[in-house]
Structure 1
Amino acid sequence: MKITYDPRYNIAYIYLQEKTMQVNTIQVSQEMNVDVGLDGKIYGIELLNANQQLGSLEQGKLVVVNEALGESAEIRLSL
């Protein structure tokens, strides 16, 4: 899994798996799109207005936690 963030446009994309085929984009809301392959698998999630979506507007960071290993990493989100 990979997460990208573009502060210029405040958009995040969560890559759940590599796109190996054509995907259809489903608009879930005005701020979220989901890419679904013809095989029914979700390949990625696009978050518009990402700071607000990720709850980081005040904190300015995204924290990724690996519960199994007890490890975490912080990614600074800035506009």
Structure 2
Amino acid sequence: MILEDDIRASYTLESTINHHGKFQVVTVTETCREALDQFKLYTPELVFVDITLPDGNGLDVIRKLRTENESCHFIMTTAIP
């Protein structure tokens, strides 16, 4: 799963992941709210999370999702220098 509000960044990340035969992106979301809903629907094993989002921040999303699935892994992404 990818949580990224920059369309170009999410497209690049999704293309790169899907290019690898052993991985598949199940959903791409742009907001915290959308990510929380999609996480329940798809229960991904790995989530790429942007830090800065239009309706919150990625750290808060990770904290919330971690309570729903302790075995899920997270990778933080950001374009902030």
Q: What TM-score does the superposition give when structure 1 sets the normalisation length?
A: 0.23
**Higher-helix-fraction structure:** 2
Q: What TM-score does the superposition give when structure 2 sets the normalisation length?
A: 0.22
**Higher-strand-fraction structure:** 1
